Amino acid sequence: VTTRDQLIKLLMEHEHEYISGQALSERLHISRTAIWKHMKELEKDGYHIEAYPKKGYRIASPNHRFNASTIKWGLQTKWLGQTVVFEEVVDSTQDVAHKTAQKGAEHGTIVVTDKQLKGRGRRNRIWASDHAEGLWLSMILRPELSPFEASQFTLFTAVSLVETLQKLTGLTIHIKWPNDLYIRNRKVCGILTEMQAELESVNYIIIGFGLNVNQTEDHFTDAIRERSTSLSLESNRTWDRIQLLQAILEDFETNYYKYQQEGFSYIRKKWLHYAYKLGEEVKIITPHRSFFGIIDGISADGALIVLNENGEKEVIYSAEIHW
């Protein structure tokens, strides 16, 4: 851990009070001039620092400005997020990511924004993200993969996200097949996987996710308020989006190696552990029909297994689930 990381940690812990230059200098074993220099660097990198001669320093807002340098700074990954494309406002980070990938962006490049004007979910549904209280991001990956395996990546991403978020927030989070994270029956995160592929092989995949972080209920429209939540609403505190993002990227990269080594069975086991409504009856709407069934699990390739009205097992590749 660098001095700079320790300094940020101390400032975060004292979010609501000032901490004197003297105290910081004693805790970190560096001079007050060195502290002052660090503060200047932090400001340059987008942190809002308040400084008063008699009081000391304070991080003025836990929601630091997002930019490529605040995101990359202190990030402990080898390739994921080492190239950051940041724009304050975009239509959709998925679109920017497709363009960036087509220009040859390397594996692990991420596209991040504060606000999306046309954030999208599956089947062109709207993903509400026209404010800077969430994490809206797309990752460009170039795995060796056949197109039919790509859906496993959505499940893998869901597992990795749940683990990071539970670890950081202490909240209990579940995965709704295939791509949503839920807290107490409300959606907190959605994942969207898109790819460019030939018949045999994937050229690149783009995994986008939208995570609600610091929204209050007022940020959600009437249409989705009852069914949506944010980390902040669930934990009664604000979260530093950059710290969250970095932890997500670091864990994702570590899990990615394990996934490659051990295959999907490793992910499947974990997925089942976090699965929402496992063993319960839900409504399943496929492109062909809709019926009530019991969620039984997922198959070795990531499809949903349900017990239908007649108690028979059915394997479902594409469906919406309701309850």
184 assigned ligand-binding residue: no
Minimum CB separation from ligand BTX for residue 25, in Å? 41
Rounded CA separation 71/10 (Å): 19
120 assigned ligand-binding residue: yes
Whether the CA torsion 28, 31, 34, 39 is positive or negative: it is positive
Residue among 147, 128, 228, 126 nearest 195 (CA): 147
Rounded CA separation 131/313 (Å): 43
Candidate residues 67, 100, 138, 164; the one interacting with ligand BTX per rule CB under 6 A: 138
Minimum CB separation from ligand BTX for residue 276, in Å? 13
Q: Does 179 bind ligand BTX (CB under 6 A)?
A: yes
Rounded CA separation 144/153 (Å): 12
121 assigned ligand-binding residue: yes
119 in Cβ contact with 136 (< 8 Å)? yes
Candidate residues 42, 71, 128, 295; the one interacting with ligand BTX per rule CB under 6 A: 128
Closest to ligand BTX by CB, 59 or 211? 211
Residue showing tokens 């932090």 = 42
Q: Does 87 bind ligand BTX (CB under 6 A)?
A: no
Residue among 47, 39, 42, 2 nearest 19 (CA): 39
Tokens for 54?
Answer: 């008699």
Minimum CB separation from ligand BTX for residue 233, in Å? 11
Closest to ligand BTX by CB, 45 or 116? 116
Rounded CA separation 314/317 (Å): 10
State the Cα angle at 112 between 255 and 8, rounded to 5°: 75
72 assigned ligand-binding residue: no
Residues 226-265, mask of contacts with ligand BTX (x by CB under 6 A): --x-------------------------------------
Closest to ligand BTX by CB, 7 or 97? 97
Candidate residues 47, 86, 209, 274; the one interacting with ligand BTX per rule CB under 6 A: 209
Rounded CA separation 94/136 (Å): 10
Give the interface segment with ligand BTX, choosing from 21-29, 167-175, 203-211, 245-253 (CB under 6 A).
203-211
Paired residues of 174 in beta bridges: 182
CA 206 and chain centroid, separation:
13
Candidate residues 92, 214, 246, 255; the one interacting with ligand BTX per rule CB under 6 A: 92
Binding-site positions read 116, 120-122, 187
Binding-site positions for biotin read 116, 120-122, 187
Binding site for ligand BTX (CB under 6 A): 92-94, 116, 119-122, 125-129, 136-138, 179-180, 187, 190-192, 208-210, 212, 224, 228
